[in-house]
């Protein structure tokens, strides 16, 4: 028996269709909303004429209150879409910064040839053409690197050769994004970097304010800015088995062999 599909105009007698039913339904819904927005603006107009006219005049409530509710719902949906887009962008920035930290670690850990390849990857694929490293607010430290890309690569290599390994941490990093401008800021009050230089170990604590720009479908670093450097250092010579309570007591009396340095003090 052939199916009667007169109520569903997009379907043929066999129940098949050349048009996606969901697309057709969405189209009908859009036509209905348009007819309502036009109908409420004309005295005596029937806002329910159109694709749902067969529902009858009493099929749904009428009046400007319903239109206001629809507009309010549309506004809320648009706000929700904007907020979701912002959250997705913030998540992208966080992933970018975690990868950024890992890449910097690699320039200070890998053998020279591999480290240089990573440094080149950073400047070519992770930074904007005018991107810089800015350490200028830390007196007597590293200044500004870039925007010349070779300058950044060279200085990453010189700095990395002094370090056996490092691990950049952003424990309280906070991203903010401006989708209309395609920009983002990543701020952390205490970037933490444990590292080793020969027999010396150090912990660096810095304030970071990085600015990023959206390029294509991804983010790139425009300015990696560090300031307010604090540093602890200590001897990392291999521990001897004779170390015991007396050595621990001596370390406590001498302050543990550590010193705290703040640049500019």
pLDDT digits over 149-177, tens only? 999 999 999 999 999 999 999 999 999 99
Q: Pairing relation of β-strands 127-135 and 218-235?
A: parallel
Q: What is d(CA 248, CA 120) in angstroms, rounded to the nearest whole number?
A: 45
CA dist 167 → 90, 103, 262 (Å): 23, 10, 20
Q: Where are the domains of the chain?
A: 84-262
User: According to CATH, what is the number of the domain 84-262?
Assistant: 3.10.450.50
Nearest CA-CA partner of 133 in 174, 100, 179, 85: 100
pLDDT digits over 39-58, tens only? 544 544 454 444 444 444 44
Q: Pairing relation of β-strands 165-166 and 174-178?
A: unpaired
Using an 8 Å Cβ cutoff, are 204 and 196 in contact? no
pTM: 0.64
22 φ, ψ to 5°?
-65, -40
pLDDT digits over 213-224, tens only? 999 989 999 999
């Amino acid at each position: 028996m052939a199916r009667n599909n007169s109520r569903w105009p997009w379907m043929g007698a066999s129940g098949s269709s050349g048009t996606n039913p969901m697309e057709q339904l969405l189209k009908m819904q859009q036509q209905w909303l348009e007819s309502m927005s036009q109908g409420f603006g004309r005295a005596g107009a029937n806002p329910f004429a159109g694709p749902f006219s067969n529902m009858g005049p009493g099929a749904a409530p009428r009046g400007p209150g319903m239109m206001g509710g629809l507009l309010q719902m549309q506004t809320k949906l648009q706000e929700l879409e904007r907020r979701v887009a912002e959250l997705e962008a913030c998540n992208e920035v966080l992933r970018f910064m975690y990868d950024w930290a890992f890449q910097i670690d690699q320039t200070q850990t890998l053998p020279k040839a591999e480290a240089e390849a990573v440094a080149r990857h950073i400047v070519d694929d992770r930074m904007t053409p005018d991107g810089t490293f800015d350490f200028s607010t830390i007196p007597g430290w590293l200044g500004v690197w870039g925007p010349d890309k070779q300058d950044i690569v060279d200085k990453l290599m010189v700095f990395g050769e002094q370090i056996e390994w490092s691990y950049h941490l952003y424990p309280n990093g906070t991203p903010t994004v401006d989708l209309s401008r395609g920009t983002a800021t990543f701020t952390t009050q205490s970037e933490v970097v444990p590292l080793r230089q020969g027999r010396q170990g150090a912990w660096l604590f810095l304030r970071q304010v990085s600015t990023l720009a959206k390029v294509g479908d991804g983010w790139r670093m425009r300015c990696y800015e560090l300031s307010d450097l604090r540093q602890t250092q200590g001897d990392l010579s291999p521990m001897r088995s004779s170390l015991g309570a007396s050595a621990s007591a001596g370390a406590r009396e001498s302050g543990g062999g550590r010193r705290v340095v703040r640049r500019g003090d």
